[in-house]
Amino acid sequence: MKLITADYTYTPHGFKKNLAIVYDQKIRTIDTFENLKRKYPDAGIAYSGANSILYPGFINTHVHLEFSANTTALQYGSFRTWLDSVIEKRDELLQACDNTLMQQKTEEMLASGVTTFGAVSSFGAELEICTGIPQRVVFFNELIGSNAAYADALYHDFLERIKASENCDREARITPAVAIHSPYSVQPVILDKAVQLAAQKNYPLSAHFLESQAEREWLESGEGHFLTFFKKYFNTSTPVTNIEAFMHAFDACPTHFIHCVQAKNEELAYLAEKGHSIAHCPRSNRLLGCGRLAIEKLGELEMPFTVATDGLSSNWSLNIFDELRAALMMHHAEPLQKLSGQLIKSITSDAAKILGLNTGSIEEGKEADFTVVTLPDMPNSAEDIALQTILHTQKASEVYIGGEKII
């Protein structure tokens, strides 16, 4: 047994002073430092130092590692120019993305205190590095393909990738999962099969949804930039589904919808009623000209959301603190302290619940995944800790996964 203590601990009941945690792979006991020192005289004691805050390990629910080679190649400003640039540079970027680069990007996440991430994979190429890193990975095998002629073959390939992610060693900490690329890019027949598979196996399920105005226009009326795009690259001019039909396809399986920036109130209400959640990627949304997700509406609907980085195809870093700071600035009408608290919750307990993980909070029986943040000074009030953590942190000062000290 080991014992860790910091100046403050982020608990389900707020930031608490003078707590300690006894753990092995899991959190065994939480009590005052004095009590635990007495009860566990043989436990090795680690104090995280002045101005330290002990958090559960952070969770980035949505990232694409396979686009890690992009820095300046893709064009930002509008979804339309971005999508065109992806088509142009896609092969080049995928070619340039090797295991060394992807590994570096997982290390960047780890350095910012991310102990678990949800990796969306279209080819399965990331699985090898994901099995060799200390983090937990929810491995979202992505289903993509709007052309009915290829649907069976694509579904078969998807099943093979699912199998590969199921067959990893236990130590690899991989959770197999299902990702539906989007309403415009997946044939409804295979979409239904993939949702059924996720429901049967109780796998996490995610789908990009209503990211851009162009997507909305295409799904509503078959018009706009997607019409040009589909005519040019797929020789079709009709969408494979519409907004309502796509939403209904997920009724039986709580889904982590990515973006939803362009969802209307009634659509958000429907998603909330069915127990779904949202991954909010503020920097990606800003760079692709997609708009602002109205997180205040999610609060009214009691719909859980996470803050996630998305991939480097629409971002400049995978540092979760960069993303939290962007969210803090983007939602400028929200009270600062309250928003900061929500943001921290979104990458800890809310994210863990959404992905079905036994992590994300400092409670007995949870996995011993910890991220220690050291502030430059201690805020006057515990109410300010979440905000000051978001403002001042570039890197975690310590990271533990399954009780093992990684940083």
Contacting positions for Fe ion (CB under 5 A) = 310
Q: Does 117 bind ligand BEZ (CB under 6 A)?
A: no
CB 324 within 8 A of CB 295: no
Residues in the chain: 407
Using CB under 6 A as the binding criterion, the count of chain residues that bind ligand BEZ stands at 6
Residue 211 known to be catalytic: yes
In sequence order, what are the residues at sequence separation of 6 or more whose Cβ sits closer than 8 angstroms to the Cβ of residue 90? none
Q: Nearest approach, Cβ of 185 to ligand BEZ (angstroms)?
A: 4
Burial category of 333 from C-beta neighbours within 10 Å (exposed 0-12, middle 13-18, buried 19 and up): exposed
> With respect to ligand BEZ, which residue has the nearer C-beta, 26 or 193?
193
Which among ligand BEZ, Fe ion, none contacts residue 310 (Cβ within 5 to 8 A by kind)? Fe ion
Choosing from 66, 211, 367, 398, the catalytic residue is 211
Could you say which residues in the range 142-161 bind ligand BEZ, by CB under 6 A? 144-147
> With respect to ligand BEZ, which residue has the nearer C-beta, 155 or 184?
184
Q: Does 185 bind ligand BEZ (CB under 6 A)?
A: yes
First to last CA, the chain: 19
Query: Which two structure tokens, joined as six digits, stand for 170?
Result: 């236990």
Closest residue by beta carbon to ligand BEZ: 146
Which among Fe ion, ligand BEZ, none contacts residue 358 (Cβ within 5 to 8 A by kind)? none
Q: Does 184 bind ligand BEZ (CB under 6 A)?
A: yes
Q: Nearest approach, Cβ of 117 to Fe ion (angstroms)?
A: 12
Closest residue by Cα to residue 126 from 104, 89, 156, 98: 98
What DSSP letter does each residue of 50-97 carry, written as one string?
TTEEEEEPEEEEEE-GGGTT-SSSSPPSSHHHHHHHHHHHHHHHHHH-
Q: Nearest approach, Cβ of 187 to ligand BEZ (angstroms)?
A: 8
> With respect to Fe ion, which residue has the nearer C-beta, 66 or 310?
310
In sequence order, what are the residues at sequence separation of 6 or more whose Cβ sits closer than 8 angstroms to the Cβ of residue 260? 209, 210, 211, 267, 268, 271, 278, 293
Could you say which residues in the range 205-224 bind ligand BEZ, by CB under 6 A? none
Helices (H) and strands (E) in the chain, counts: 16, 18
Q: Nearest approach, Cβ of 152 to ligand BEZ (angstroms)?
A: 14
Over 213-238, what HEC string results?
A: HHHHHHHHHCCCHHHHHHHHHHCCCC
Which among ligand BEZ, Fe ion, none contacts residue 393 (Cβ within 5 to 8 A by kind)? none
Which among Fe ion, ligand BEZ, none contacts residue 184 (Cβ within 5 to 8 A by kind)? ligand BEZ
Q: Does 262 bind ligand BEZ (CB under 6 A)?
A: no
Give the binding site for ligand BEZ (CB under 6 A).
Answer: 144-147, 184-185
Active site residues: 211
